[in-house]
Amino acid sequence: YRTIVWSKDMVGKYDQDAIKELIEVFSLLGYITTDIKEIIVRVIEILGKNNNLDNAVVDLYRLYHILNPEDASLDSKMLDYILNEK
């Protein structure tokens, strides 16, 4: 969740290629895992196609809640996102 928000913020500041290169450097230095690097790159690419990620985040939360109705662990994070990011 916070990775998505961070990626969205970075796209507002830098171009996609610069972000990808910075992420690659951080990955090579061992500061972030390959999985996190891939997530960030994919989110950045999605944002390049459609800069309105807010609705997608809400829809992904809804899907998670459908698949895991007993797990409320994302509820407070989603509320924070809605109140502070939208």
Q: Tens of pLDDT along 7-45?
A: 888 888 998 899 999 999 999 999 999 999 999 999 888
* pLDDT value of position 51: 64
CA distances from 65 to 3, 68, 70, 83 (A): 19, 5, 8, 19
Residue 50 backbone phi and psi in degrees, to 5: -150, 105
pLDDT at position 86 over 60: no
Amino acid identity, residue 39?
Answer: I
Interatomic CA distance for residues 55 and 70, integer angstroms: 23
Q: Residue 52, SS3?
A: coil
Confidence of residue 62 (pLDDT cuts 50, 70, 90): confident
Alpha helices by DSSP H, 1-86: 2-13, 16-28, 34-49, 54-67, 75-84
* pLDDT value of position 23: 94
pLDDT at position 63 over 70: yes
Confidence of residue 85 (pLDDT cuts 50, 70, 90): low
